[in-house]
Amino acid sequence: MADIIALRPQSESLPPGTGRHGPEPLWRHLLGDQLRRRRHERGETLAETAEKAGVSPQYLSEIERGRKEPSSEMIAAIAGALEATLVDLTSGVAQELNAAPAPISANRSIGTRAALMLAA
């Protein structure tokens, strides 16, 4: 059975997912921002990227706006269409999280702002 190690425990005084500056961001929102930014950097339209990825422009738009929770296969297809890897996207999201102010629930003794849970 896997051990789960929390790098940032939840504060007992705040609802889960809530920090000093409001709710923690959702993965789908940060991923969507990352995809849109990469698409814009390439100067591509939704239709162009969607066609390369094999998805509809409407679906790609919903992913970019954080309204859909895409499967790992869809994320990989879109990443490939943008000539990026899953590691590229994940690293970009992690950088955004690290740049954000730490929620009040951060464990000050560890001194980390990582909001990840590791399973071993």
Q: Give the tens place of pLDDT for each residue, 34-86.
A: 999 999 999 999 999 999 999 999 999 999 999 999 999 999 999 999 999 99
Number of structural domains in the chain:
1
What's residue 38's pLDDT?
97
Q: Is residue 56 assigned to a domain?
A: yes
pLDDT at 68: 95
Per-residue pLDDT reduced to its tens digit, 7-30: 554 444 445 554 555 678 899 999
Which residues form the domain of 57? 26-101
Question: Domain for residue 69, yes or no?
Answer: yes
Residue 28's φ and ψ, nearest 5 degrees, are -65, -30
What is the domain-level CATH number for residue 92? 1.10.260.40
Rounded-to-integer distance, Cα 79 and Cα 25, Å: 21
Q: Is residue 112 part of a domain?
A: no
| 94 found inside a domain | yes
Structural domain includes residue 1? no
Considering the entire predicted model, what is its pTM? 0.67
Residue 57 lies in a domain: yes
| Alpha-carbon gap, residue 104 to 18, rounded angstroms | 9
Query: Do residues 81 and 63 touch, judged by C-beta distance below 8 A?
Result: no
Using N-to-C axis directions, what is the helix angle for 46-53 and 57-64, rounded to 10°?
110
For the chain, what's the residue count? Answer: 120
Residue at 108 is within a domain: no
* Residues 1-39: b if buried by 16+ CB within 10 A, e if exposed: eeeeeeebeebeeeeeebbeeeebbeebebbbbbbbebb
CB 101 within 8 A of CB 22: no
